[in-house]
Amino acid sequence: MRPINRGVGTTESERYLATLADRTFLDLWSYPNTFNDRKEHGKGNGKELTDLLVVCGDDVVIFSDKSITWPGGDDVGLSWSRWYRRAVEASVKQIRGAERWIRRYPDRIFVDAACETPLPVELPAPDRMRIHGIAVALGAQAACSRHFNDPDGSLMVNSHLKGPSHVDPTFPGYTPFAFGDVDPDGPFVHVFDETALNLVLREMDTITDFVRYLGARQAAIRQQVIGHAVSEAEILAVYLTTDIGDGEHGFPRPEQLEPFGGQINLAGGMYRDFKASPAARRKAEADRVSYAWDKLIRVFTVNVLAGTSVAVAGIEPDARLSERSLRVMALETRTSRRALGEAFVGALANAEQRGLDRFARVVVPGEGAADPECGHVFLVVAFREPWMVAEGYDRYRQFRSGLLKAYCEVALYDNRHLKRMLGVAVDASEQVTGRKGGSEDLLLLEIDKWTPEHESDVERLRKQGGILVPARLRRGGISVSEFPPAPSRQSYKGNRSQRRASAARGRKGPR
């Protein structure tokens, strides 16, 4: 497996954007400074396609970053017009060009200027591809702060502004430092300043949560559900506090707003009040264990990008094959990651507390799972049996990866409504083996159709390996609510030291 050398951004703002993207979308799915192979006379470097490209599942996010110095001068309207054309209209042009190239030439996108390393992530089929355009427009906040005598300086949202009316002082409702629908004749382009970008990527910090917000925001602005908003924070507050069913957020429908003039106009303070609420604080506390899932994903993506992944269950490492398995993990929402993180961390803790040589946990998909046909197997295997020590760690890993495949097969056999099982195998903790360090294996097993022969093989595996024997299984459930209810005054979980130990395991995640 060859290493994948990603770009890091060529300007300070691009480097910062890349850092934010790595945190939200994770490194295997975000690529700063991508290129096409349109070289001058077939020589030299390719042409830059995007400042940042994110590809995960059916979603493609194109970022165009423009950091433009405010023109200055006493005529704010003229300065705004000049800045807007250079920061926003230029970004829209870049995004439109990137959209066309991605749809026409999906196999001619590269992560290096020399066009030697193709994009390692498979693009979705054209009929499934959802492209989101984001213009990151920097450089106007200080001028906005001075103009409105507001220390925040966040740029506003005004859905009545469309295309050229953003810079037309004769347009009713025109105001500088506001964005609406910047290109109404094409797919929607979101415009974020630095404050808005930081906020949205911090709150919507998984690819699925992020693109769901973009979709709802696009509809709310184009349908003018949102009329005016003093900042992105207030729009986000409405989204986070509006439940549209099935555990998803959104905005009120236009018909629901008819008694209120047909749209929402947002002054400041709603986001601040939301973040100060007990419900938001409980959510933040409950989400802490979910970042163990993020850490687990990164354990694998680091090796994929470095080209250091190893064979699992006899399958040689391949970047695109690995990405497909990891994509299943990356597409989970923050709330789903909370349940999976709790299950994974709990498996590690259970194996450690009981001093077991082997411990497995099977998780079937719950409500809101990214893939309702994919379950999970978490397997902990201690490297301490005499034959393992005698034959060495590499032989132990071969055994463990084969065992992981067997567990996934049995788990699918027991859950015929599922088509896939994602397995993760890790070493037992140092407290169990006395050995520092460890490794992790990842496997995605798919079985579309069972044959009598395969069923017999799996039953034999179960008996010979003592795998998920029904009589020895302990069944339980994990229930998560995005906003956990307030605990009763009588309820508690363990003593103080036990609660601290559990929190520490959640912070550490895998080794």
Give the pLDDT confidence of 8-31 residue by residue, as tens digits: 888 999 999 999 999 999 999 999
- What are the tens digits of pLDDT across the range 80-101? 999 999 999 999 999 999 999 9
Q: What is the mean pLDDT of the chain?
A: 92
> What CA–CA distance (Å, rounded) separates 167 from 357?
68
Q: Which of 201, 81, 234, 80 is nearest to 134 (CA)?
A: 201
Q: pLDDT band for 497, please (50, 70, 90 cuts).
A: low
Where do the domains of the chain lie?
A: 12-206, 283-508
DSSP 3-state assignment of 140? coil
- What are the tens digits of pLDDT across the range 47-56? 999 999 999 9
Q: Is the pLDDT of residue 437 over 60?
A: yes
Q: pLDDT band for 511, please (50, 70, 90 cuts).
A: very low
Q: Is the pLDDT of residue 417 over 80?
A: yes
pTM, rounded to two decimals: 0.91
> What CA–CA distance (Å, rounded) separates 231 from 265?
11
Q: Which pLDDT score, from 0 to 100, does residue 492 have?
A: 42
Select the more confidently predicted residue: 419 or 500.
419
Q: Which of 54, 48, 55 is nearest to 34 (CA)?
A: 48
Q: Which pLDDT score, from 0 to 100, does residue 458 have?
A: 96
> What CA–CA distance (Å, rounded) separates 137 from 68?
8
- What are the tens digits of pLDDT across the range 127-168? 999 999 999 999 999 999 999 998 888 999 999 999 999 999
Q: Which pLDDT score, from 0 to 100, does residue 477 have?
A: 66
The token pair that represents 335 in the structure block? 């709330």
Are 37 and 110 contacting, i.e. CB atoms less than 8 angstroms apart? yes
- What are the tens digits of pLDDT across the range 372-397? 999 999 999 999 999 999 999 999 99
In sign, the C-alpha dihedral spanning 465, 470, 474, 478 is: positive
Select the more confidently predicted residue: 419 or 476.
419
